[in-house]
Structure 1
Amino acid sequence: MTPPALRGIDIRQLRYFLVLAEELNFRRAAERLHLTQPPLSRQIAALEAALGVALLDRDGPATRLTPAGRRAQAAFRTAVQAFDAALAEAASGPAADRPLRLGLPWWVDMSAFPAVDGAWREATGRAGLEPVMDIGPTLLDGLRRHTLDAALIAMPHELHGLRHVPVARLRHVALVPSASPLARKRALRLRDLEALPAFLRFARRQNPALWMHYQRQYEAAGFKPATEAEAPGTTATLAQIAAGRGGTLMPAAMARQRYAGVACRRLLDEVSVEVHLVFSDALAPELVEALTAQCTLFEAALG
């Protein structure tokens, strides 16, 4: 019989501990989990209290796993994998009978998706694609939890052993208010955007590696905006630009559509990102092969 103290442990606490055991740093682990440090610390403390053992040694300059923590890491990893596999098994039907759950970056132009879905059905004879749009870290979490089958991920990201293939390198365009003098130019330099009230970009905490990928390109072009503001998603970001509150960069596919109050302009400095198709480790090999064979579909949708 399970001791009463252990019955309150839930799978979320095990996931939190596994991320913390990899990072051995509460700040970085909290960023990966999209939490602040206090709730993460409370969950780990509750887990240790329920188990009656210390999993982490917090004394000294660095956090370390205790012997019990190392044993727990191996045991919890096995338990979480078994839990996720059970959920995937319960939710799945024959591969050809259910849509393939495909994660997409939040900035993807969905007007191209019906053509991609139709081409996938025709090429494979399978059910269609079920799109799920979110930021990269959340999509990767879905792959690890097996709630997604595959996802298009802007690199770099820490993939932790997930299989992946490159799909496209995407150049970016500038999005500025239509009422701005910058909109009268046919092409812009990055440094031209310094004249805007703010440069809108995703928060560094969402994905530090990808944020730095862009930052290095900005620095190489000598781009130093006086004010930066968080880009809260495609719709809200476009609304802020239309209101004259700033500008941003997005993959060139965004220029396919017209947005009221927003002007898309070619960028003379190269800013780009590589997108990979990343697979869940629970995805059947024949589906991995089928998706890999259709990478040109996704490249067309992105570009």
Structure 2
Amino acid sequence: MSTSTPSALLSRVELRHLRYFLALAEELHFGRAAQRLAMSQPPLSVALQQLEAAVGARLLDRDSKGVRLTPAGVSFRASAQALLMGFEEACAQAREVESGERGRLRLGFVGSTMLHGLPDWLQAFQASHPRVEVVLVELNSQDQIAALLQEELDLALLHTDRLPPTLASQPLYDEPFMACLPDTHPAARKRSVALASLSDQPFILFSRRGSPDYHAHIIEMCRQQGFYPRLQHEGRHWLSVVSLVARGLGVSIVPAAFRDAGIQGAVFKPLAETVERSRVFAAWRRDAAPALRDAFLAARG
């Protein structure tokens, strides 16, 4: 028989040819194989001839004694089974990816979410979606927005919903702001702290570049109490801000979750004033496939 190039072979062999051949290889009888395949015998014979012509080798011997696999047929049978199993596995994986049961989720997050249930959320999701790989990337809000736009993240957990039009978001939770003070500060022993009482203190704030909205929000909180904070230092991560406060380098206003950060030397006190709460949002690209993202968001409960 004539040989064919791999590309020509693939164009001539269909999955049905492999299924027909495997049925014949098991039954070793055209009539029984045709019945099993719910077809008549002549089309089955034609399909086998087409397969042998495409492969370039005789796969079955048929005579008055019955049907037998040739040595080439024995070899081809194993490969045909592997091909069909591989195709079925590829189909199953594709369905799982489309449904959010398999895949890779690149998740950006701000540090406060680690102190507000993100580890438990991840654990619950991995328990229900063991075939999904979650890649965690800690970034400030502004860097997460940039990463979403550049398709380097699939989902972002950040402190703002002021986003470019190509991104969408939904609120996750909110929490109060608290005064963060060195444990040697006179106000560290008070039940609550009036924001105005900190007007003469050096402030350590979250970087304006890292999260413009958050930075502006805290500035506005102070302005409403009649002063503009004396900015001493900026940090690109909240834990950096708290660490600097713990070293006595200034005071800050931070989300309440950082009470649980375990940084010695920092004290957290409720604000005496009623101020807007710290908010966290989930954000994503509007044109991104929703299944994996929605599955992760649903796992939060």
- Answer yes or no: same fold by TM over 0.5: yes
Letter in 2 for 1:150: L
Please give the per-residue CA displacement for 1:9-48, whole angstroms capped at 9, x wherever unaligned: xxxxxxxxxxxxxxxxxxxxxxxxxxxxxxxxxxxxxxxx
Q: Which residue of 2 aligns with 1:189?
A: 194
Distance 2:115 2:131 in 1: 21
1:133-152 residue pairs with structure 2 within 5 A?
133-152=138-157
1:279 correspondence with 2:273: no
Q: Could you tell me whether the CA contact under 8 Å between 2:143 and 2:210 is conserved in 1?
A: no
RMSD: 2.6
Distance 1:205 1:225 in 2: 17
CA shift, 1:281, in A, is 3.8
Distance 2:134 2:256 in 1: 23
Letter in 2 for 1:144: L
Q: Which runs of no fewer than 5 residues in structure 2 stay unpaired?
A: 1-95
Matched position secondary structure for 1:127: strand
Q: Which residue of 2 aligns with 1:217?
A: 221
Q: Which residue of 1 aligns with 2:245?
A: 241
Q: Could you tell me whether the CA contact under 8 Å between 1:109 and 1:254 is conserved in 2?
A: no
Farther-moved stretch of structure 1 (251-260 vs 199-208): 199-208
Q: Which residue of 2 aligns with 1:121?
A: 126
1:257 correspondence with 2:261: yes
CA shift, 1:174, in A, is 1.4
Distance 1:118 1:289 in 2: 16
Q: Which residue of 2 aligns with 1:159?
A: 164
Distance 2:218 2:158 in 1: 15
1:288 correspondence with 2:293: yes
Distance 1:199 1:276 in 2: 26
1:172 correspondence with 2:177: yes
Identity of aligned residues (%): 24
Q: Could you tell me whether the CA contact under 8 Å between 2:222 and 2:229 is conserved in 1?
A: no
Matched position secondary structure for 2:217: helix
Q: Which runs of no fewer than 5 residues in structure 1 stay unpaired?
A: 1-92, 297-303
Distance 1:179 1:288 in 2: 45
Q: Could you tell me whether the CA contact under 8 Å between 1:238 and 1:262 is conserved in 2?
A: yes
Change (3 A) 1:157 1:106: farther
Change (3 A) 1:194 1:106: same
- Higher gyration radius (CA): 2
Distance 2:227 2:176 in 1: 17
Please give the per-residue CA displacement for 1:215-261, whole angstroms capped at 9, x wherever unaligned: 33322233433444212433432332122110112111111233111
Q: Which residue of 1 aligns with 2:206?
A: 202
Change (3 A) 1:254 1:186: same
Distance 1:286 1:226 in 2: 46
Farther-moved stretch of structure 1 (209-218 vs 250-259): 209-218
Q: Could you tell me whether the CA contact under 8 Å between 1:165 and 1:292 is conserved in 2?
A: no
Provide the aligned length of Structure 1 versus Structure 2. 203
Change (3 A) 1:189 1:260: same
Distance 1:155 1:293 in 2: 21
Letter in 1 for 2:224: A
Q: Which residue of 2 aligns with 1:14?
A: none
Matched position secondary structure for 1:255: helix
Please give the per-residue CA displacement for 1:116-173, whole angstroms capped at 9, x wherever unaligned: 1111123455525332111111111111122111011212432323121111122111
Distance 1:178 1:212 in 2: 26
Matched position secondary structure for 1:109: helix
CA shift, 1:182, in A, is 1.4
**Normalising by structure 1, what TM-score?**
0.59
CA shift, 1:186, in A, is 1.9
Matched position secondary structure for 1:108: helix
Q: Could you tell me whether the CA contact under 8 Å between 2:159 and 2:280 is conserved in 1?
A: yes
